[in-house]
Amino acid sequence: MQSNLTRNEALALLQKYNKEPFHLFHALTVEGVMRWFATDLGFGDDADYWATVGLLHDIDFELYPDAHCQKAPELLRAAGVGDDMIKSICSHGYGICADIPPEHLMDKVLFATDELTGLIGAAARMRPSKSVSDMEVASVRKKFKDLRFAAGCSREIISRGAEMLGWDMDTLFEKTILAMRACEQSVADGMKALEG
């Protein structure tokens, strides 16, 4: 798997259409999570590609929320992004705002973890540490069951993602916590660099 963009080019493309710190933070988080999963699942040689898919997955959401995953191909194609990557990026909206099913393992990981990173991140911000460093699966399980907590994070999508991967919920929770823990500092550093 080969990306047509360097990491700096992908980041510049993200920033062209995204200014809100929340969206930038989410993009950097999903980038780091996808990089971790690539290595964990035996695709370390493709980690940069997986990470770029994560970084750009919501490229159209801030400016075109009502056309999410519909506008993305146009924006990505104009920047020279290949069709395979565009398909993977758009597949995370399957059944909600896109009709492209997640086919590859990478697509399924993105589908499963996109909403879950939001839920785990919200739970982490409520902890004294404000970090995922001391987060446990039981805490995520409890927050997942509380439908009022981080209500915008779709439990149905997270559950469907786990099912696509053939994992139980605790496995998905545990791996995503580990992935977020691994990239937490680089995401914080990346946000400082963007704000500076």
List, for residues 149-183, the tens digit of each pLDDT value: 999 999 999 999 999 999 999 999 999 999 999 99
pLDDT band at 3 (very low <50, low <70, confident <90, very high): confident
Task: Return d(Cα 12, Cα 60) in angstroms, integer.
Answer: 14
Task: Return d(Cα 42, Cα 18) in angstroms, integer.
Answer: 31
Q: Are 121 and 166 in contact (CB under 8 A)?
A: no
9 has pLDDT over 80: yes
Per-residue model confidence as pLDDT tens digits over 92-136 = 999 898 899 999 999 999 999 999 999 999 999 999 999 999 999
Which phi and psi (to 5°) does residue 80 adopt?
A: 90, 15
Domain spans of the chain, in order of start: 7-195
Q: What is the pTM (predicted TM-score) of this model?
A: 0.96
Per-residue model confidence as pLDDT tens digits over 43-60 = 999 999 999 999 999 999
Distances (CA, A) of 11 to 7, 92, 95: 6, 19, 27
Q: List CB contacts of 41: < 8 A, sequence separation 6 or more.
A: 105, 109
